Amino acid sequence: MKRVYVSTCAGMAAMAALLAGCDADAGTAPERAHPAVEAQVTGGELSPAEELLVQRAEQLMVKECMEEAGFSYWAGVLPTPDDLRGGGYVLTDAAWAKRNGYGSRVRERLQRLQRDDPNHAYANALPEHERARYAKALEGDSSDGVVTAELPGGGTVGIPRDSCLSDAKGRLYGDFQTWYRADKTVTHLARLYAAEVIEDGRTATALEAWSACMREAGHDYADPPSVRAGLPSLTEGLTTAKAFAVENGLAVTEARCATRTPLAATLRALTAEYRSPLLAEYGDDVAAHRRMGLAALARAEDITGATA
């Protein structure tokens, strides 16, 4: 099913932190703000467990909508809260790294979930005209109207106004158009300051200390992205178990060096420094995002009969 506009499928993406536990890509991840950095915009947002509860409710509402349109639809298996702790510039949680390395097994598991989604097989088995009708019911058609959002720093994204996905979000968040615009603003703010954080001289100084810590442990790397870039050559030809052991060892060392040197604290401080004026500039959207997220969580608890 070809997608003309950016889809907001109920799925596996969560806003990633600059200081994170992994580097997971959940399949339909948000566009990255910087080649090596994704940043959490502000506090007060839903926790990973709460976001997953909202996504579960969204899936149930999409299922109801699709069945009303005459199609079968399955609410799929969602990742765990631990799976969503990812996307950052540097690892800082050694315990998470010890369990997951850089998240390769997490990514593989989420990719399997996506690949084995029964909705894909069901849609592909439909006759062509029914497959088109299925796609329109699920994701909408731009010819029927589009909700657009201007992104901080320039650019516009849009999504069909009428679909089971937009209907579910509208019912959860209260107003789909307002939520879409606030969500796109909040999740794209990071690109306005992420590069500045990494290019700041204070980061360079902190990276020197981190790199020295890594060298003392037997790993000569200038920065965290270079570790991930070099990992494939280190694990090439190894068994799965041995490759993960290499990944695991590097990830744990990276996280320990991030917290034993000024790197983690420096990145946190610079993130707050560069983020603060943007939060003031886009305060209305940030406040709407928080408010509507909490409202969606309350509705999700009613729909699912569960709490995060």
Looking at residues 144-169, what average pLDDT do you find? 96
Confidence grade of residue 98 (pLDDT, cut at 50, 70, 90): very high
Question: Which pLDDT value is given to residue 44?
Answer: 59
Residue reference for tokens 């790197």: 263
- Helix or strand or coil: residue 156? strand
Q: What percent of the chain lies above the pLDDT cut of 90?
A: 80
**Span 45-90, pLDDT tens digits:** 899 999 999 999 999 999 999 999 999 999 988 999 998 886 689 9
Range list of H helices, 145-262: 164-173, 176-188, 194-199, 201-216, 224-235, 240-260
Q: Which of 41, 24, 17 is nearest to 89 (CA)?
A: 17
**Span 13-48, pLDDT tens digits:** 322 334 443 333 333 333 333 333 333 344 458 999
Question: Which pLDDT value is given to residue 294?
Answer: 97
Q: Look up residue 103 and give its amino acid.
A: G
Burial of 148 (0-12, 13-18, 19+ CB in 10 A): middle
**Helices 263-281 and 283-304: angle between axes, nearest 10 degrees:** 100
Chain centroid, CA 143 distance in Å: 29
151's tokens:
């992104």
- Helix or strand or coil: residue 77? coil
pTM for the model stands at 0.80
Chain centroid, CA 218 distance in Å: 32
Query: How many alpha carbons lie under 13 Å from residue 202 in its C-beta half-sphere?
Result: 14
